[in-house]
Structure 1
Amino acid sequence: MPRILMERSGEMEVFARVVQEGGFSAAARSLDITPSAVSKLIARLEARLGTRLLVRTTRALTLTEEGEAYHHAALRILQDLNDADQEAAGGAVRGRLRVNTTIPFGTMFVAPAMPAFIARNPDLIVDLSFTDGIVDLVADKTDVAIRMGNLPDSALIARKLGQSRRVVCAAPSYLERKGRPATPADLDRHHCLTFNFRRARPSWPFVWEGREIAQAVTGSLVVNNGETMKQMVLAGAGIARLGLFHVATDIAAGRLVPLLENCNPGDLELIHAIYVGGGPLPHRVRVFIEYMIETLEESPLLKGVALTAA
């Protein structure tokens, strides 16, 4: 019977920490051990495996091809061990959960839901970041991101949280100054607010005279997130096309007016929680996603709310 290697998980944890911290000394400080102890553990690991995992120079530390593969496997195994410990301890969720979401969705749904989530999981640290930009989950060490719209083909796994159609809208103050568009073509004479992270020429979809069209729009203001755009529209800066979940309460209160609803294509924008695949879903990520689904499933704002045509 082969000898049981009791030290494997410890070697993996030290190796993973060296990669995370970018060096032996930094890893030693984070683990509260000496740099020489880290060096000996890595040397013992490489000797046992019979291959070099790290290339060390005075300026940098680089993973070999074998090191890359072992690092990926080690992270998965360490997460499985952590999840097993948590399950055995009665399902308590521990550690740090890094969540990235868009500013509108985070402000409206994630942030208000966090007090109850933290109360339910007091041993978990939730690290929240809000941005509408593209996020590299691996490079940014993000556990789960929440994004709107179509997802590109990738190794990411997605769970649907909800959906919302989009609506063209403006503030009453803007319409008093500039008038109300009656057809998509009328938008040529209006200030239309667009996003600066879209490289293609801005256009909005409509159904006009029985066919789908893409109406080009222009304006003197572009922004990088939906919340800023909503604030600009509320201030009367122009017309925007935003997620209905984001502006439904402002429309109901009369602060915004829906436009061209008779030719709105009704296209749904799906809202997903996305995470990196390639192994079992970490317990802390699974608990968060299930909690958000539970929290959001009854929200009428995420079911494609209908408005009276205008």
Structure 2
Amino acid sequence: MDHMSGIVVFKRAAETLSFAEAGRQLGISASAVGKAIARLEESLGLPLFHRSTRSMRLTHEGELFLARCQRILNELVEAEAELAISRTTPAGRLRVSMPVVGMLLMPVLSEFMHKYPEVQLDIDFCDRIVDVIEDGFDVVMRTGEADDSQLITRTLGHYSYVVVGSPAYFARHGVPATPEDLATHACLQHRFTETGRLRRWLFMRDGAKFEVELPSTAIVNALEPLIALAERDFGLICVPHFAVSAQLANGSLVAVLREFEEDRIPFRALWPSNRMMLPKVRVFVDFMNQNLFSES
């Protein structure tokens, strides 16, 4: 910082060719200007000015150094202006971590991209636990509870898992009346890529959670193929409500066992508490809050 302040003083002195005038413009004494120039010349190992009792002019090296200093300081001014704009206008790359289930939110993410074209989304879909700060994410979106004093948390909405199947499947195999009836049905299961475990089908009865032993007619590690298989009458799936909202609306899938659904699950946005909330983060979180699960 001392070196940078010396450059600022030098630039002003070089442009005015007067220590006194440079000092007046900078709000310091002519003596302070002279000392700053002397320290800079000592650091560079060469003189920047030819000085006499009557006049002062730049050396050849001083002229070269002034040209560089002017470019550097102009770059700093432009950088400050860009940062000032970024504090008020949503723009730039936005690094977001989302669970794999978030891939099914692409219509909402696409709407965000249309509304804020100056924000470049950089999304990492994964179910592993990420370190928001160490991994350099601006926002992390996760399901379930969150407890980290280093992060600010905002609940964007809630969703539930529903058991669905096609009308043709139910016409052939009947409609399960209780979760225990699923033992005789074709169950299409989801395997988590990160852990290799099957997702549990949890239900509620009399305020208590429970699960039943299910057959595994097919196992898939992504939700989109599961939904496609269910639409093609191969069996039942248990997926987030928002993942099949379109299919439920058009009738290609039908939800069953709704009275046994487990508690609704929170979907949250998290970001570092020690950072200023940039406009690109604010508008993203606000947009997700307003548009996620609107049909759930």
**Fold agreement, TM-score > 0.5:** yes
Equivalent of 1:217 in 205, 214, 217: 214
Partner-residue secondary structure (3-state), 2:211: strand
Specify the structure having the higher radius of gyration (Cα): 2
The answer to whether the 8 Å contact 1:83/1:282 transfers is no
Kindly indicate whether the alpha-carbon contact (under 8 Å) linking 2:160 and 2:261 is maintained by their aligned counterparts in 1: no
Counterpart residue number, 1:6? 4
Distance (whole Å) between structure 1 residues aligned to residue 277 and residue 113 of structure 2: 21
Structure 1 segments unaligned to the other structure (5+ residues):
8-81, 306-310
Compute the TM-score of the two structures, normalised by the length of structure 1.
Answer: 0.59
Deviation, 1:179, is 2.6
State the match for 2:288 in structure 1: 292
Deviation per CA, 1:63-92: give whole Å up to 9, x if none.
xxxxxxxxxxxxxxxxxxx89853367723
Match of 1:232? 229
Q: Distance in 1 between matches of 2:227 and 2:288?
A: 24
Aligned pair partner of 2:277 in 276, 281, 287: 281
1:284 deviation in Å? 2.8
After superposition, residues 128-143 of structure 1 pair within 5 angstroms as: 128-129=123-124, 131-134=125-128, 136=130, 137-138=132-133, 140-143=135-138
Counterpart contact for 2:138–2:271, Cα < 8 Å = yes
Distance in 1 of aligned mates of 2:142 and 2:222:
12
Give the alignment's Cα RMSD to 1 decimal: 3.2
- 270 and 94 in structure 1: CA distance in 2 versus 1, 3 angstrom threshold: same
Residues 194, 90 of structure 1: alpha-carbon distance in 2 compared, 3 angstrom cutoff: closer
Q: Please, which of 164, 187, 193 is the counterpart of residue 169 of structure 1?
A: 164
The residue number in structure 1 matching 2:268 is: 272
Return closer, same or farther for 1:201/1:109 CA change in 2, 3 Å cut-off. closer
Q: In structure 1, the residue corresponding to 2:160 is in which secondary structure?
A: strand
Which secondary structure state, in structure 1, belongs to the residue aligned with residue 161 of structure 2?
A: strand
5+ residue gaps, structure 2, are 6-78
Return the TM-score normalized by structure 2: 0.61
State the identity as a percent: 27
Q: How many residues align?
A: 218
Partner Cα distance (2:137, 2:249) in 1: 36
SS of the residue corresponding to residue 216 of structure 1 reads: coil
- Tell me: CA distance 1:235–1:146, structure 2 relative to 1, closer, same or farther (3 Å): farther
Deviation at 1:256, TM superposition (A): 0.6
AA paired with 1:167? V
Q: In the superposition, relative to structure 1, how do residues 188 and 157 fare at CA in structure 2: closer, same or farther (>3 Å)?
A: same
